[in-house]
Structure 1
């Protein structure tokens, strides 16, 4: 079972804070450090302001040596696909081949308005073309060129450089869409992520993705199936309640919707997701100043999942 740390820096975190969390992630034995790709807070003042996902990951690539690095999820609306292919390939090389590429259609219209980013209506078709372009660029043999003519993007005789350090950068797709999302995952994804969903909804969506994979001629077991859930853990009820209050959430609501409570409670809930095929969890950590929280998860939860 892989446990990964997932941060939401748009809620208020500078690079130094993210660096401290990433270093703790590595030192405590977690598998990966992931971050969101947003430019506007969803609550609070968001001070000191947003950081860019791929600039952050490029810096962390040089400050860490073992953990995987990636996004849940890069917004396809933020970057042109050719530019994004270059950025991800460069960070992969800077990390020695530790990048994983999560991408989604983009959804938060307010951040687009705030920073002058176009917010097209046809987001999902654009995402599909972005995946075709990005993977096409990476997969083009060295010395050959790549061309693509779509509805939204056209590339002509691209040298398709640079190449990632890895033979294949893992592609992560996710979401709750019942038709187009499983179909796209079956075509492009190495991992399917179900974010902030119940065990029951997770089971239903994983089944749709498995069916889509079979229809596409893939083995369903070739994909990794994962969940992203808020984590809030205390060694006892008092510590759990204190951590819940620190992130402005009610203990029972967290228990219902996240991986929350005492270590034993969290292990039991992880087991319920695992029964439906989840083998990787992105633990959304909302209080990035509380590194003791990470240590508790590493010492009291991770060993029970080996």
Structure 2
């Protein structure tokens, strides 16, 4: 079962907070909003993932608080928060706070974490991939519980986005907890992941139509957009890094989105 017929096509932009001054990042977020993007994401790392390994880099959630004030329409969020870096109750409180600052525009993106340098340099235990997924499974109910207890409550049911493509554990967690799934891959890979996610939903008694499906994209939408849409993907996210944020690819995907809806 796919959801493409029931959801609007949405375009996201991941502004990777690396190799750039913050002023450039802020300008890019504002430009993307003016262009009509639906969501602006950053990521949750402490060092660049490519290029100069000790190049310029900024922290995720501090930036989201600033974006909550500097933007007015777009949804904002991390693609994705690393579960290992913050106590789940604290993360819930942070999310609720940014939700209020933004007037109800936060998406709580979360994943199990993978970038070992972040862990070792900042004093977190890296452990194993399985152990980090188990920790995420333990954290998600705690986050949900804390969000329900906070005063004031969030302005809305904050959408939870879970990133990752693990077929046994991650997609099961998506079926149990997420409003949005985000993954990577071509049409064939995305189609497979969607089928597996649908089966997990059936196994836990969840309507798969409740979960928005998202993938990272690059290049021209004419090459993959229709195929991904037919596979049930309705959110398409372009990633751009600093120092200069070239939004030409984003413009193409926004135009493609608009053509789907005309």
Q: TM-score, normalised by structure 1?
A: 0.77
What residue is the counterpart of 1:211 in the other structure? 199
Unpaired stretches in structure 2, ≥5 consecutive residues = 1-8
Query: Do structure 1's residue 53 and structure 2's residue 60 form an aligned pair?
Result: yes
Unpaired stretches in structure 1, ≥5 consecutive residues = 141-159, 230-258
How far does residue 165 in structure 1 lie from its aligned partner after superposition? 1.8
Contact 1:128 1:184 in 2 (8 A): yes
Contact 2:176 2:201 in 1 (8 A): yes
The higher relative CO (CA closer than 8 Å, separation ≥ 6) is in 2
Instruction: Name which of 51, 57, 62 aligns with 1:44.
Output: 51
1:188-199 equivalence runs, <5 A = 188-195=177-184, 197-199=185-187
What residue is the counterpart of 2:6 in the other structure? none
Question: 1: CA distance between counterparts of 2:95 and 2:209?
Answer: 26
What residue is the counterpart of 2:143 in the other structure? 134
Contact 2:20 2:244 in 1 (8 A): no
Question: 1: CA distance between counterparts of 2:169 and 2:253?
Answer: 36
| More displaced 10-residue stretch of structure 1: 287-296 or 22-31 | 287-296
Query: Do structure 1's residue 170 and structure 2's residue 159 form an aligned pair?
Result: yes
Contact 1:61 1:95 in 2 (8 A): yes
Question: 2: CA distance between counterparts of 1:268 and 1:305?
Answer: 15
Query: Do structure 1's residue 284 and structure 2's residue 239 form an aligned pair?
Result: yes
Quickly say closer, same or farther: Cα 1:124–1:49, change in 2 above 3 A. same
Query: Do structure 1's residue 5 and structure 2's residue 13 form an aligned pair?
Result: yes
How far does residue 295 in structure 1 lie from its aligned partner after superposition? 6.9
Secondary structure in 2 matching 1:120: coil
Root-mean-square deviation (CA, aligned residues, Å) is: 1.9
Q: Which has the larger radius of gyration?
A: 1
What residue is the counterpart of 1:62 in the other structure? 69
What residue is the counterpart of 1:32 in the other structure? 39
Contact 1:194 1:226 in 2 (8 A): yes
Q: TM-score, normalised by structure 2?
A: 0.89
Contact 1:12 1:47 in 2 (8 A): no
Quickly say closer, same or farther: Cα 1:17–1:101, change in 2 above 3 A. same
What residue is the counterpart of 1:222 in the other structure? 210
Question: 2: CA distance between counterparts of 1:136 and 1:299?
Answer: 36
How far does residue 33 in structure 1 lie from its aligned partner after superposition? 0.4
How far does residue 43 in structure 1 lie from its aligned partner after superposition? 2.4
Question: 1: CA distance between counterparts of 2:127 and 2:36?
Answer: 41
Quickly say closer, same or farther: Cα 1:126–1:292, change in 2 above 3 A. closer
Instruction: Name which of 108, 120, 124 aligns with 1:113.
Output: 120
